[in-house]
Amino acid sequence: MEYICKQKGSKSWIAEIILIEQNETQLEADVRGRGTQFHVIVGRHQYGTYLCIPNHGIGCELASLSDTFWNWEQLCRHLSEVDAHTVSTGLYQLKAIW
């Protein structure tokens, strides 16, 4: 599914998220935007939600998938602001199905 990313003070861009697999405790998808691809694995654990992006060596805690700001802040520790925005907005798109 395609979605539009708009970061404050910059141009918007089109990104895409492709759901690969999902079950009750985990989902796996590819996120693409501005020339970069992220293979994301989102899971639930006893105390919340986590995100792994193995092809970038990233793992972190998440808030709910709808909390794009908090998730963006977590991802900015590991990615550029633009890439973090692409991923956090993509996760938001998945909230309706997971």
pLDDT score recorded for residue 8: 80
Domain that holds residue 83: 20-94
Whether 85 is covered by a domain: the verdict is yes
Whether 33 is covered by a domain: the verdict is yes
The first and second tokens of residue 54, run together, are 């193995």
Whether 57 is covered by a domain: the verdict is yes
Per-position pLDDT tens, the chain of length 98: 999 998 888 789 999 999 999 999 999 999 999 999 999 999 999 999 999 999 999 999 999 999 999 999 999 999 999 999 999 999 999 998 88
Give residue 83's identity as a one-letter amino acid code. D
Count: domains in the chain: 1
Length of the chain in terms of residues written: 98
SS3 78: coil
